[in-house]
C-alpha cells in the first residue's frame, strides 16, 4: 500500500479513533485515504487548536491524541499547542506534511524546517525520508509518546514518501521505546522516614494524575493521617471534599496548604517538580525538612537539596510498595487534629451577593449544577485561578488546564477534545474574555461536530491577570490590558449556530447554568463580573509566603505569621 494508507493503518492498529487537523497540499494523500479509514477526522479552524483538542482528548483518556497539519505555516501554527502538551507531559502524535524529500533545502513553497522546530518541544522528532521507514517510525512514535514521562512525538512526512509504496511484509519492529530507568531501591528508606514522621505531608502533581494512582495515594494518606496538597496540575488527585484534602498550593493556593508546606517534617512528593508557581520561594521550607520524591523522570527526581530519598518509576507502583512496607495505620495524631482545625478556618464563603457579580459567586453557582464526574477545562488567567482555588473537583483527572506553558486559548479547544471522548459527560470551559477571543472561532468546529460544550465566560473587559499584576506591582498603571471594545459574545455564539445568554445579575446565574447544561448545542454564558475583584490570595512573584496578599480570605486575620511547630500538640 502507499505510504499515506500505511500511516492510517498503523494508527488504526494502535486503536486511534479520531484525528484533529487541517489539510494542505503536502498532506493531501492522507486526507484522500481518510475517506476509507475508520479514523474520524475533526476539521479545526486553526492548527493550534488541533493540538489543543488532541491534548484534551489525551488528558481525559490517557491515550495519545493525534493531530496533523500541512507544512510551513500549518506546521508552525501547531507549535504552541505542541509546546503546551510537552510542558504538561501530555502524549500526542503530531504529524506534519512536508515538501518532497528531493526538494528539501531548495526553499520550496511552504518549506520549513519543522523537524528542528519541533525538536525542543517534543520527546522525539522524526523525519521520514524513505517509505520503508514508515512502519518502524509509526510504532516508535506511539510507544515513545505513551511510555515513561509521556509527551508529544513529531513525525515530518514529505509528500512524495506518502505517495510511494511501502514494501511488504512489514518487519516486526522493537524500536526506540524509552529504556526503563526505574529505581525503587529507596522504598525502604521512604518507609522508615514516613513511619517516624510526626508531621507528614503529601504533595501531588501532574505525574500522579497521569499514573492514575488515586487509590494508592488516598490509602497511604489515610494510613499516615497525612494531609494532601496538590500543584495546579495535580488538582483533584483525591476528592477535594475529603478531610485530608488541603487543595492547591502555590502563588494563588490555599492558606492551609501553604501552612502545611511550611510546617511538615517529612514531605512525600509524588509526580511534582517544585515549579516556581507551586512552591513559590523554596527558602520558605526549613532546612530540617526531609523530602521523599517519586518521579518517573530521573531528571526531575531529587532536584531539591532537601531530598533524602529519591525513587524513580511509576508513582502507582512506588506507592503500592510503600504501602506494603508500612503495614500499619495511624488512628489519630496531633498533626492531624491541627490540620483538621486549620482546614475549617481555610474555607471561604463563595456565595457573595450583589452586583457587579463576583467571580466567586460564579464558581459557587456552577458548583451546584456540575455532576460529580463533570470535566472542567479552563483558559489561562484569573478565570483559571478562580476555578483552581475555589472549585472542588470530585473525580481525579477531570480538571484540565494549561500549567507549565500557561497557554491562553487552551481551554475551549481542549474541552472539545474532551467532549469528543466523553460525549455523555458534562464538559465546561471556564473562560476569560481575553483567552476565549484567541480561539473562539472553534465554535464552528463545536457546532459542526455536535459537541455541546458549555462556555462559562467570566467577562470583565480586561486582561484580568495582567491588570492585577499591574495593580500590585506597577502602581495601577494599566497599559495594553483594556478590552472595552469586546464583541457581543452572545451574538457571536448565535452567528456560529450555538446558543448563548448574557448574565448581569447574580440572581440570573442559576437559571443560565441549568439552561446551558440542558442544551444540545454549544452554549456560551456571557457573565459580566466585577473588574475590580482581584484573584486573591496571591504571593507576589519573587516574594515569600510571609508576603501573601489575603484579600477577602479570613485566613489572614487569624493565621498571619509563623506558628511555632512546638506548640502543635497543645492546639485543638
pLDDT in tens, 420-437: 999 999 999 999 999 999
pLDDT digits (tens, 9 = 90+) for 80-112: 999 999 999 999 999 999 999 988 888 888 889
> What is the reported pLDDT for 238?
96
pLDDT the model gives residue 280: 58
Share the mean pLDDT of the chain: 91
Q: What is the pLDDT of residue 253?
A: 87
> For residue 555, what pLDDT is reported?
59
169 prior amide bond cis, ω within 30: yes
Query: Which residues 6+ apart lie within 8 Å of 121 measured at CB?
Result: 79, 82, 83, 86, 152
Closest CA to 204 of 176, 181, 236: 236
pLDDT at 262: 86
Assess whether pLDDT exceeds 80 at residue 221: yes
Query: Residue 373 carries which DSSP code?
Result: T
3-state secondary structure of 339: helix
Out of 2.30.110.10, 3.40.50.1100, 3.40.50.970, 3.40.50.300, the CATH code matching 359-528 is: 3.40.50.970
Enclosing H/E stretch for 448:
helix 443-448
Give the pLDDT band (50/70/90) at residue 561: very low
| Residue 419 predicted with pLDDT over 90 | yes
CA distance 83 to 542: 25
| Of 241, 552, 504, nearest in space to 370 by CA | 241
Strand residue runs (E) in 82-185: 92-98, 124-127, 153-158
| 284-300 per-position pLDDT tens digit | 677 788 999 999 999 88
Tell me the C-alpha distance between 359 and 370, whole Å: 17
**Mean pLDDT to the nearest integer, 236-258:** 90
Decide if pLDDT at 366 tops 90.
Answer: yes
Residues of the chain with CATH 3.40.50.1220: 187-345
The residue length of the chain stands at: 572
In this predicted structure, what is the pLDDT of residue 327? 83
φ, ψ at 234 (rounded to 5°): -95, 0
3-state helix, strand, coil in the chain (%, to 5): 40, 15, 40
* Residue 200 CA, distance from chain mean position: 27
CA 251 to chain centre: 17
Dihedral sign, CA of 436, 149, 282, 557? Answer: positive
CATH number assigned to the domain covering 187-345: 3.40.50.1220
Please tell me the distance from the alpha carbon of residue 283 to that of residue 98, in angstroms, as a whole number.
49
Q: What is the pLDDT of residue 569?
A: 37
Structure confidence by residue, pLDDT tens digits, 318-343: 999 999 999 888 878 889 888 888 88
Calpha distance 339→342 (Å, rounded): 5
> pLDDT value at position 283?
58
**Contact (CB, 8 A) for 192 and 266:** no
Q: What is the pLDDT of residue 345?
A: 74
CB 58 within 8 A of CB 78: no
Which residues lie below 8 Å from residue 488, measured CB to CB, with a gap of 6+? none
Which region, left, alpha or beta, applies to residue 475 given φ > 0 means left and ψ of -120 to 50 means alpha?
Answer: left
Phi, psi of 8 (to 5 degrees): -70, -40
Lowest mean pLDDT among 4-8, 16-20, 46-50, 301-305: 301-305
Angle formed by the axes of helices 134-145 and 3-13, nearest 10°: 30
**How much is the pLDDT for 562?**
38
Could you report how far apart the first and last alpha carbons of the chain are, in Å? 73
pLDDT in tens, 449-492: 999 999 999 999 999 999 999 998 899 999 999 998 999 999 99
Range(s) for CATH 3.40.50.970 in the chain?
A: 3-163, 359-528
The whole model's pTM is what? 0.94
Specify the 3-state DSSP secondary structure of 67: strand
Buried b (16+ CB within 10 A) or exposed e, 475-511: eeeeeebebeebeebbebbeebebbbbbbeebebbee
Q: What percent of the chain has pLDDT over 90?
A: 76
Element (H, E) at 135: helix 134-145
What DSSP character marks residue 377?
E
Q: Is 305 helix (H, G, I), strand (E, B) or coil?
A: coil
Spatial strand order of the sheet with 124-127 comes to: 40-43, 18-21, 65-69, 92-98, 153-158, 124-127
pLDDT at 518: 97
pLDDT for 547 equals 80
**Looking at the predicted structure, is the pLDDT value of residue 560 above 60?**
no
pLDDT band at 180 (very low <50, low <70, confident <90, very high): low
pLDDT > 50? residue 567 = no
Cα separation of 124 and 120, whole Å?
9
d(CA 31, CA 97): 11
Non-local (6+) Cβ contacts of 569 within 8 A are 334
Query: In this structure, which CATH number among 3.10.129.10, 3.20.20.70, 3.40.50.970, 3.40.50.720 belongs to the domain 3-163?
Result: 3.40.50.970
In this predicted structure, what is the pLDDT of residue 98?
96
Q: From its phi and psi, is residue 148 left (phi > 0), alpha (psi between -120 and 50) or beta?
A: left
Distance CA 134, CA 10 (A): 9
Report d(CA 334, CA 322) in Å as an integer.
23
Question: What average pLDDT score do residues 556-568 get?
Answer: 40
Q: Supply the Cα-derived Rg of the chain in whole angstroms.
A: 24
Any idea what DSSP says for residue 287? T
- Contact, 142 vs 64, CB < 8 A? yes
pLDDT category of residue 558 using cuts at 50, 70 and 90: very low
Cα 296 to Cα 328: distance, rounded to the nearest angstrom:
27
Q: Cα separation of 195 and 182, whole Å? A: 24
- Indicate the SS3 state at residue 499: strand
User: In whole angstroms, what is the distance from residue 314 CA to residue 263 CA?
Assistant: 28
Predicted confidence band of residue 362 (pLDDT cuts 50, 70, 90): very high
- Please, is 305 exposed, middle or buried when counting C-beta atoms within 10 Å of its C-beta (0-12, 13-18, 19+)? exposed
The reported pLDDT for the residue numbered 176 is 61
Residue 41 and residue 191 in contact, taking contact as beta carbons nearer than 8 Å? no
Contact 410, 401 (CB under 8 A): yes
Amino acid at each position: 500500500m502507499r505510504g499515506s494508507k500505511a500511516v492510517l493503518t498503523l494508527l488504526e492498529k494502535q486503536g486511534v479513533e479520531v484525528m484533529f487537523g487541517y489539510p494542505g497540499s503536502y498532506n493531501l494523500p492522507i486526507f484522500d485515504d481518510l475517506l476509507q479509514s475508520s479514523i474520524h477526522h475533526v476539521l479545526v479552524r486553526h492548527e493550534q487548536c488541533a493540538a489543543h483538542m488532541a491534548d484534551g482528548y489525551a488528558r481525559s483518556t490517557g491515550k495519545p491524541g493525534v493531530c496533523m497539519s500541512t507544512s510551513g505555516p500549518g506546521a508552525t501554527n501547531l507549535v504552541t499547542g505542541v509546546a503546551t502538551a510537552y510542558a504538561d507531559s501530555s502524549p500526542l502524535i503530531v504529524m506534519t506534511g512536508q515538501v518532497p524529500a528531493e526538494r528539501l533545502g531548495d526553499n520550496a513553497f511552504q518549506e520549513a524546517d519543522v523537524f528542528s522546530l519541533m525538536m525542543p518541544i517534543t520527546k522525539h522528532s522524526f523525519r521520514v525520508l524513505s517509505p520503508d521507514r514508515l512502519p518502524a517510525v509509526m510504532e516508535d512514535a506511539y510507544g515513545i509518546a505513551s511510555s515513561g514521562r509521556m509527551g508529544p512525538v513529531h513525525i515530518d512526512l514529505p509528500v512524495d514518501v506518502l505517495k510511494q509504496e511501502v514494501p511488504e511484509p512489514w518487519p516486526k519492529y522493537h524500536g526506540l521505546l524509552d529504556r526503563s530507568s526505574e529505581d525503587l531501591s529507596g522504598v525502604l528508606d521512604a518507609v522508615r522516614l514516613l513511619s517516624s514522621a510526626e508531621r507528614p505531608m503529601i504533595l501531588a502533581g501532574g505525574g500522579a494524575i497521569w499514573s492514575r494512582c488515586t487509590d494508592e495515594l488516598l490509602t497511604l494518606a489515610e494510613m499516615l493521617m497525612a494531609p494532601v496538597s496538590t500543584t495546579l496540575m495535580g488538582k483533584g488527585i483525591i476528592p477535594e471534599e475529603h478531610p485530608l484534602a488541603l487543595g492547591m498550593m502555590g502563588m494563588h493556593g490555599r492558606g492551609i496548604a501553604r501552612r502545611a508546606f511550611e510546617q511538615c517534617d517529612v514531605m512525600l512528593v509524588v509526580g511534582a517538580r517544585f515549579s516556581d508557581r507551586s512552591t513559590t520561594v523554596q527558602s520558605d521550607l526549613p532546612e530540617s525538612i526531609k523530602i521523599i520524591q517519586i518521579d518517573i523522570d530521573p531528571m526531575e527526581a531529587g532536584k531539591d537539596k532537601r531530598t533524602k530519598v529519591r525513587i524513580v518509576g511509576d508513582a502507582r507502583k512506588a506507592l503500592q510498595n510503600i504501602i506494603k512496607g508500612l503495614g500499619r495505620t495511624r488512628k489519630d495524631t496531633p498533626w492531624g487534629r491541627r490540620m483538621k482545625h486549620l482546614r475549617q478556618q481555610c474555607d471561604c464563603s463563595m456565595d457573595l451577593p450583589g452586583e457587579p457579580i463576583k467571580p466567586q459567586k460564579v464558581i459557587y453557582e456552577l458548583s451546584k449544577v456540575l455532576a460529580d464526574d463533570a470535566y472542567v477545562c479552563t483558559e489561562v488567567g484569573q478565570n483559571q485561578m478562580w476555578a483552581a482555588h475555589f472549585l472542588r473537583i470530585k473525580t481525579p483527572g477531570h480538571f484540565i488546564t494549561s500549567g507549565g506553558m500557561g497557554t491562553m486559548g487552551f481551554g475551549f479547544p481542549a474541552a472539545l477534545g474532551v467532549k469528543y471522548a466523553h460525549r455523555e459527560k458534562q464538559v465546561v470551559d471556564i473562560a476569560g474574555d481575553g483567552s476565549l477571543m484567541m480561539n473562539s472561532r472553534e465554535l464552528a468546529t463545536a457546532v459542526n461536530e455536535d459537541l455541546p460544550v458549555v462556555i462559562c465566560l467570566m467577562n470583565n473587559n480586561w486582561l484580568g491577570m495582567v491588570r492585577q499584576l499591574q495593580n500590585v506591582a506597577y502602581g495601577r498603571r494599566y497599559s495594553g490590558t483594556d478590552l472595552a471594545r469586546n464583541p457581543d459574545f452572545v451574538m457571536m455564539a448565535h452567528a456560529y449556530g450555538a446558543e448563548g445568554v448574557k448574565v448581569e445579575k447574580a440572581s440570573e446565574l442559576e437559571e443560565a447554568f441549568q439552561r446551558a447544561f440542558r442544551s444540545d448545542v454549544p452554549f456560551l454564558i456571557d457573565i459580566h463580573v466585577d473588574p475590580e475583584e482581584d484573584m486573591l490570595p496571591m504571593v507576589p512573584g519573587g516574594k515569600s509566603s510571609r508576603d501573601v496578599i489575603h484579600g477577602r480570605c479570613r485566613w489572614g486575620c487569624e493565621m498571619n505569621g509563623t506558628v511555632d511547630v512546638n506548640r502543635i500538640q497543645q492546639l485543638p
